[in-house]
Amino acid sequence: MGPRIEEELVQFLKKNSDVFAWTVHDLEGINPGVMTLKLNANPTFRQICQKKRNFGIERNDIIRKEVEKLLAAGHIRPVQYPEWLANVVLVPNPTTKKEVQKLTGRMAALSRFLSPGAERGLPFFKTLRKMDGFSWNEEFQKAFDNLKEYLSKPPLLTKPRAGETLCVYLAASEEAVSAVLVRVEGKEHQPVYYVSKVLQGAEQKYPPIEKLALALIMAVRKLRPYFQSHQVTVLANQPLKHILASPNALGRMVKWAVELSEHDIEFEPRPAIKAQILADFILETKGEKDDKSNKDWTMFVDGSSTSSKSGVGIVMKSPEADHIEYAITLEFPFK
């Protein structure tokens, strides 16, 4: 192409620059009578949900660069939904044990969004434990209504940033323990993940501080990737650090302390809860049931002595009039 023709083409393009689309907003569309794009798919075929694809680091970098190009060109834009978006579906009350099992299974799948999930699902688990048939009473109906109301506006979970410090709030009640992993941004506390567990058997008899330690162990085991890649600060209203580090710790507390030592965990007293989401989550540790502690026991003591030995006898009487007798023989005379 000679210089003269090239100059004529440049002048022609400049003269007709108004017919070119310089941005996405300049695209006015094409008349369907000229060109139409159709997807030749059978509308009777059911839709297939594509599985989440995990790519390597190099491919993720390429994808990120392409997304940034599309954002810069205006072809795509980020969308944030501060409110939960979902179709309202009328869910009937369970009428059989099988339907209750399905309900608890769905709750298990949504456990990371439930605060605290174990406490909310406890009435349904109690129903499944009964062996004398199915009965849906007012307590279950109230728990079911509360669950539906909560799921209509659940908390919005966030994704932690690389290298930032995360916090863990712990809570325990007589029948369940819970934990929530949060990221702190200024004065905002944004939940990342909820975990909870229904206490079984002897776990219900643990002291309150051991229940909180169990909640922490449960969180570490279920959220191991977060604990391995972030420094975590545990906020609790009990001296967990001193109990776990105590040389007098025995049994399971020693085992838990060893398991926690592999992670970068700091312990701090729990401050005042200002975020409403965390205020709804925290369940203050309830004391053990005190059904007989306010009643007095009666103790009778007597002794005897000979020239070579002596003895002590003790009789304790409970509030229910039960007698406990105990005798001690001493290998020396009492004077």
pLDDT number for residue 117: 55
Q: pLDDT digit string (tens) for 186-216?
A: 777 788 888 888 888 888 888 888 888 888 9
Q: Which of 205, 265, 197 lies closest to 230, judged by CA?
A: 265
**Residue 234 belongs to some domain of the structure:** yes
Residue 138 and residue 210 share a domain: no
Residue 267 and residue 314 share a domain: no
Q: pLDDT digit string (tens) for 20-68?
A: 877 766 767 777 787 777 778 887 887 777 777 888 888 888 998 999 9
Q: Residue 25 CB: number of other CB atoms within 10 A?
A: 8
**Residue 292 belongs to some domain of the structure:** no
Residue type, 333: P
pLDDT number for residue 280: 54
Q: pLDDT digit string (tens) for 78-100?
A: 876 655 555 555 667 777 777 77
The most confident of the ranges 69-83, 90-104, 149-163, 230-244 is 230-244
What is the C-alpha separation between 294 and 238, in angstroms, rounded? 25
pTM attached to this predicted model: 0.50
Residue 321 and residue 244 share a domain: no
Residue 311 and residue 260 share a domain: no
Residues 6+ apart with CB under 8 A from 33: none
Chain centroid offset of residue 67 CA: 31
pLDDT number for residue 66: 92
Count structural domains, the chain: 3
Residue 240 and residue 322 share a domain: no
Residue 202 and residue 271 share a domain: yes
Residue 292 pLDDT level (bands cut at 50, 70, 90): very low
Residue 235 and residue 211 share a domain: yes
Residue 264 and residue 202 share a domain: yes
What is the C-alpha separation between 332 and 308, in angstroms, rounded? 6
Residue 232 and residue 264 share a domain: yes
**Residue 123 belongs to some domain of the structure:** yes
Q: Which residues constitute the domain of residue 146?
A: 97-152
Check if the beta carbon of residue 185 is closer than 8 Å to that of residue 158: no
pLDDT number for residue 290: 41
Residue 312 and residue 249 share a domain: no
Residue 179 and residue 260 share a domain: yes
What is the share, in percent, of the chain residues with pLDDT greater than 90? 1
**Residue 38 belongs to some domain of the structure:** no
